[in-house]
DNA sequence: CTATAGTAGTTGCAACTGCAACTATCTCAT
DNA sequence: ATGAGATAGTTGCAGTTGCAACTACTATAG
């Protein structure tokens, strides 16, 4: 019953969606053109490279990458097949496994970043000055925090 | 050579991505919980409902919905099977077809909007006051305009 | 202990996606 | 007219996704 969504807010939402697809499409295209794997690979490699000991439990990784688990399983299969990560048994929990980034993985991470980083600059960052970017972050923080609770719809 | 992406801009980009997945996930969940079809259906129905005569050529629709054509073909198959749209031959171009929204389609559009609209309000709009939303739109416009030139469907 | 519930990760399946190849039609310079 | 090239939409295929069911193990209650 609350609703009463303003025209302007509605417009903002549509533009948000459009901006997202266009940017992602463009970036994926840049990566593909450089014969590099898709963004999802980057996300995994990046998360692992930042993690202590370059390794994460699979469920932690899934969380970090915002991916369902079944999805992550098969994404890791591909990365493992490409030699970019390895699975390692967890000694303290025999169900569990770590994903560990390999040297090859680090190399790929660098290669991808050289394209990805430039793309972010080219399509995104260069359009936001120092004040704007802070404002932008402030807003996005609010949006994510509100949703992060995973609250029921009440 | 230009690059030199600032930490802050990089952060903004990540938050943009995270905000997007979280919002979409949440909204899709709300729709699913109400036993309604996914957002992509809404987009098609909405575009058609706004169009003159409630119909669009398929390629116009694909453009409006930011979907590849092959994708749209099959999305429309599903919508047609569900009775929400119909295909109609184009008299002036025998290759072409229109998608037309049916009465059932309009009904579904309303049902979906009652959930979707509330969700936008609840997860997005309510976090932005009048000034902020304008600013947000201004930024998004810049981002899309910069990218828009290149996203032709080959 | 042992039963019960919970968690970690994988797998089967059906749906959805993008790309490239295909058919059919239209456009236009010759 | 006519043949080269563009455009409209569909289809085949291989890759990717989400969901639910499954195996294996852990944690907890009695």
Protein CA A69 to sugar C1' D22 (Å): 14
Structure tokens at A74: 């098969």
Q: Which residue is listed with tokens 């770590």?
A: A98
Q: Within an 8 Å CB–CB cutoff, is residue B135 touching chain A?
A: yes
Protein CA A52 to sugar C1' D20 (Å): 33
Residues in chain A closer than 8 A to B30 (CB atoms): 153
| C1' of nucleotide D26: residue with nearest CA | A93
A59 touches strand C (CB under 7 A): yes
Protein CA A93 to sugar C1' D15 (Å): 33
Tell me how far apart the terminal alpha carbons of chain B are, to the nearest angstrom.
28
User: Does residue A46 contact residue A109 with C-beta atoms inside 8 Å?
Assistant: yes
In eight-state DSSP terms, residue A2 is -
pLDDT at residue number B153: 31
Residues in chain B closer than 8 A to A153 (CB atoms): 30, 33
Q: Which residue is listed with tokens 């980009």?
A: B13
B89 touches strand D (CB under 7 A): no
For residue A99, give the 3-state DSSP assignment. strand
Percent of chain B predicted with pLDDT > 70: 93
pLDDT at residue number A67: 82
Per-residue pLDDT band at B148 (split at 50, 70, 90): low
Each residue's pLDDT tens digit, B24-38 = 999 999 999 899 999
Protein CA B41 to sugar C1' C12 (Å): 27
Q: Within an 8 Å CB–CB cutoff, is residue B11 touching chain A?
A: yes
pLDDT at residue number A51: 94
| C1' of nucleotide C23: residue with nearest CA | B95
For residue B37, give the 3-state DSSP assignment. coil
Q: Which residue is listed with tokens 């709009």?
A: B125
State chain B's mean pLDDT as an integer.
89
- Nearest by CB to A118, from B3, B132, B139: name it: B3
Give the closest-approach CA distance of B28 to chain A in angstroms.
12
> Which residues, given as ranges, of chain A have pLDDT below 50?
1, 3, 149-154
Are A5 and B125 an interchain contact pair (Cβ–Cβ within 8 Å)?
Answer: yes
Tell me how far apart the terminal alpha carbons of chain A are, to the nearest angstrom.
12
Average pLDDT over residues B131-141: 93
Q: Where are the beta strands (DSSP E) in chain B?
A: 55-57, 85-89, 97-101
A13-146 is classed in which CATH architecture? Orthogonal Bundle (1.10)
Average pLDDT over residues B65-74: 86
B73 touches strand C (CB under 7 A): no
For chain B, what are the domain ranges? 20-148
pLDDT at residue number A68: 81
pLDDT at residue number A153: 28
Fold of B20-148: Arc Repressor Mutant, subunit A (1.10.10)
């Amino acid at each position: 019953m609350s609703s009463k969504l303003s025209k302007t807010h509605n417009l903002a939402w549509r533009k948000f969606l459009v901006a997202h697809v266009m940017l992602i499409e463009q970036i994926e295209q840049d990566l593909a053109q450089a014969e590099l794997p898709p963004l999802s690979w980057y996300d995994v490699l990046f998360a692992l490279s930042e993690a202590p000991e370059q390794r994460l439990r699979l469920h932690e990784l899934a969380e970090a990458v915002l991916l369902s688990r079944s999805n992550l399983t098969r994404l890791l299969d591909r990365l493992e097949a490409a030699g970019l990560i390895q699975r390692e048994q967890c000694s303290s929990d025999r169900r569990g496994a770590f994903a560990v980034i390999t040297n090859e993985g680090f190399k790929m991470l660098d290669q991808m970043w050289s394209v990805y980083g430039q793309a972010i600059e080219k399509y995104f960052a260069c359009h936001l000055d120092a004040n704007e970017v802070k404002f932008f972050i402030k807003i996005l923080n609010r949006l994510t925090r509100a949703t992060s609770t995973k609250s029921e719809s009440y």
